[in-house]
Amino acid sequence: MENNKVRVAITHGDTNSVGYELIFKAFETPEMMELLTPIIYGSPKIAAYHRKALNMEATFSIIGNAEEVRPGRLNLLTCFDNEVKVDLGHPNAESERAAQKAFDRALSDHAVGGFDVLVTMPQSNDMWAGVPEYRQSGLCMMVENGLRIGFATERVSLKEAIAAVDKDTVVRKATTLYQTLRRDCSILNPRIAVLALNPGADGDEESGIIKPAVDELNEKGLHVFGPFKAEELFAEGGYDAFDGILAMYYEQGMVPFKTLSRGEGVMVYAGLPFVCTAVSGDGQPAAGKGLADPSPLRYAIYAAVDMFRNRTGYDLPMGNPLPKLYHEKRDEGEKLRFSVPKKHEAKESSAESVQQEAGNNQL
């Protein structure tokens, strides 16, 4: 990693969307180049078309492979050179294929050390469809400062989400969330709240699936609590007692996240061998108008760089652990101390009741 700059790969996304506009605007600021080395995975022809259509003065250096990447410039790696019709604001099969080609090329390059982190631009199709590693252990989560919400199921219909919720899924997703909080967010002993599937948290799914999953996770030493009623956890402030929250379906977590966040939220694809963040939203309404805000891309880049540095700091000592010279006596006092969520004096009694419930679940 030359000059300690993180190499950030950025896929151009749907070629009829705002990907290139966001990229050109984000790197108008010279300070960005001082922080990292960008590698745009896309097409020089399409990039030039967007630049002309938007009347922008962006400059980029065309490269053929990751070995040609140089710091201090906007590197544009050619993923394909065929003609692709651009129809700004109107995604179609051709623009989706162009997005997938860039994404697939980026995955191939990471396998040979081509970059450090990946940031994906909006695209309509499911880019992870052909990635079994993500299907097996991946987790989509939204992050903004201290608010981190993961999703146990994909962005599917409620009927499909309910069918997909089983004990193994809850255990696997909660474990991925726990490991991500430790490794990528530098939280030593993360506390995770698991939401109920039913409004009253008293259905068959809670008693037969979620609660047994929580019990199994606690037996493994993870600090996981629940199931909680989503309404109580979010509306009454109890969410602030936890480092991460696992929602059972997309809307259950996304609606409160957008309500509580300040518009700086970043989508993170966790559970992968590399750090991957994404610009949330599809960007189609703003495509071709020159009005797209580059802030979401900058947030996604900053989050990816921070997570990469956290992961590097976490993995380094783990690679060569010092052998223990004595038998460590298990301290049950620590288990008791961390079984109760952190409290905040400013919380109302309703929030304290949620915290007390979490303590009771663990004990």
Per-residue confidence (pLDDT) for residue 286, from 0 to 100: 73
Q: Map residue 142 onto helix, strand or coil.
A: strand
DSSP-assigned beta bridge partners for residue 77: 41, 63
Is there a contact between 273 and 117 (Cβ–Cβ < 8 Å)? no
State which amino acid sits at residue 293. Answer: D
Helix, strand, coil percentages (3-state) for the chain, rounded to 5, are: 45, 15, 40
Per-residue confidence (pLDDT) for residue 83, from 0 to 100: 84
How distant, in Å, are the alpha carbons of 139, 203, 234, 310 from that of 142?
10, 27, 15, 18
Question: Could you list the mean pLDDT of each consecutive 10-residue stretch along the chain, which spans 363 residues?
Answer: 80 94 93 93 95 92 94 95 87 92 95 95 82 83 94 92 95 97 96 96 95 98 96 89 97 94 91 92 70 92 96 82 53 42 43 51 45
Sequence-separated (6 or more) residues with CB below 8 Å from residue 273: 110, 133
State which amino acid sits at residue 70. Answer: R
Q: Please give the Cα distance from 266 to 279 (Å, whole number).
A: 7
Per-residue confidence (pLDDT) for residue 12, from 0 to 100: 96
Q: Please give the Cα distance from 288 to 15 (Å, whole number).
A: 11
**H or E stretch covering 48:** helix 44-53
Is there a contact between 75 and 63 (Cβ–Cβ < 8 Å)? yes
Per-residue confidence (pLDDT) for residue 237, from 0 to 100: 84
Q: Can you give the C-alpha Rg of the chain in angstroms?
A: 22
Q: Which residue's structure tokens are 């629940």?
A: 226
Per-residue confidence (pLDDT) for residue 26, from 0 to 100: 95
Q: Please give the Cα distance from 201 to 239 (Å, whole number).
A: 16
Closest CA to 90 of 10, 25, 14, 24: 14
Per-residue confidence (pLDDT) for residue 321, from 0 to 100: 62
**Residue 121 phi, psi (nearest 5):** -90, 165
DSSP letters for 277-305: EE--S--GGGTTTT---SHHHHHHHHHHH
State which amino acid sits at residue 276. Answer: C
Has this prediction a pTM greater than 0.75?
yes
